[in-house]
């Protein structure tokens, strides 16, 4: 049913803002009129800042709107009266009571606003910072909007999250890395080692002329054919930033080797 709705031209809460603006460029004006928080979308350069990983539902919260309200406005502009359900996994921590762990020492603080304002991709910097945070300490991020997509990604690495609004276009997200004995207590699998590169069950090759999102789709299809614990070796032509974010979100372990211009190898273990 959802697939049929999308073909008919219905905006869904879980759609990425980038997808919406690519399919219906005229909806940019609806975003601009909906909230002052969306004014940066006027700039073609800054338009790449927020929409790439942020869903319509998340964008609504960034703009101080109810997700259902923004979705309804967008659909009305398309001449459609539709009220798709909000996904259950859309979770915001704005307005939630400060957690007890907020007094834990800061292990790493990172301001990614300059990267976002320049139209850059902060995800690799955030993942590198997260690796520096020891159990019992916090990662603190200064961001332009509540980083809802990061909650699930970092949760799989043992982080709890909370976020506060500091000012217009300034949010501070706190991520606390749980120590041994905290959380659910599930036993983590060991990270991929050098020996794992010699033992894999499938390979995928990405050509230089393959247009997005085909490279990611090819990798995810190869991964779907494997059993949990099996490994996929990907021969890529560049560092696949958005694929890595997807792997983090879905809980797959990976290791990456940059062999030079146009040569990147990525080893993925399904299920962590």
Tell me: the pLDDT tens digits for 84-100? 665 544 567 877 888 88
Closest to 268 (Cα-Cα) out of 236, 16, 237, 142? 236
Place of tokens 């259950």: 88
Domains and CATH numbers, the chain: 2-77 (1.10.3910.10), 100-177 (3.40.50.150), 194-269 (3.30.110.40)
- The ranges of the chain with pLDDT < 70 are 1-8, 40, 43-53, 83-91, 119, 180-189, 249, 272
| Residue 249, number of CB atoms within 10 A of its CB | 17
- CA–CA distance, 111 with 65 (Å, rounded to integer): 25
- CA–CA distance, 56 with 12 (Å, rounded to integer): 7
pLDDT in tens, 178-199: 876 555 444 556 788 899 999 9
Identify whether the C-beta of residue 70 lies closer than 8 Å to the C-beta of residue 82.
no
Q: Which helix (H) or strand (E) holds 214?
A: helix 214-224
Angle at 184 between CA 107 and CA 192, to 5 degrees: 65
- CA–CA distance, 237 with 262 (Å, rounded to integer): 4
Radius of gyration over alpha carbons of the chain, in Å? 20
């Amino acid at each position: 049913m959802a697939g049929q709705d999308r073909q008919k031209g219905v905006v869904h809460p879980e759609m990425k803002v980038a997808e919406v603006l690519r399919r219906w460029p005229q909806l940019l004006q609806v975003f601009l009129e909906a909230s002052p928080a969306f004014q940066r979308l006027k700039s073609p350069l800054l338009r790449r800042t927020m929409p790439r990983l942020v869903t319509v539902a998340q964008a609504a919260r960034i703009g101080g709107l109810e997700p259902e309200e923004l979705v309804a406005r967008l659909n009305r502009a398309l001449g459609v009266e539709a009220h798709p359900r909000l996904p259950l996994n859309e979770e915001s921590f704005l307005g939630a009571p400060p957690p007890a762990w907020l007094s834990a020492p800061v292990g790493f603080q990172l301001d990614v606003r300059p990267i976002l304002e320049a139209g850059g991709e902060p995800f690799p910097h955030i993942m590198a910072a997260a690796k520096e945070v020891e159990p019992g300490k916090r990662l603190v991020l200064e961001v332009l909007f509540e980083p809802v997509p990061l909650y699930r990604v970092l949760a799989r690495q043992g982080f709890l999250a909370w976020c506060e609004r500091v000012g217009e276009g300034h949010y501070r997200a706190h991520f606390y890395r749980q120590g041994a004995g905290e959380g659910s207590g599930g036993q983590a699998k060991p990270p991929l080692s050098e020996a794992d590169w010699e033992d894999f069950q499938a390979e995928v090759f990405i050509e230089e002329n393959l247009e997005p999102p085909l490279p990611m789709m090819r990798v995810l299809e190869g991964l779907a054919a494997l059993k949990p614990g099996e490994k996929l070796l990907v021969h890529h032509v560049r560092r696949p930033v958005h694929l890595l974010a997807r792997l983090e979100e879905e809980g797959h372990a990976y290791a990456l080797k940059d062999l030079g211009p146009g040569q990147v190898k990525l080893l993925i273990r399904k299920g962590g």
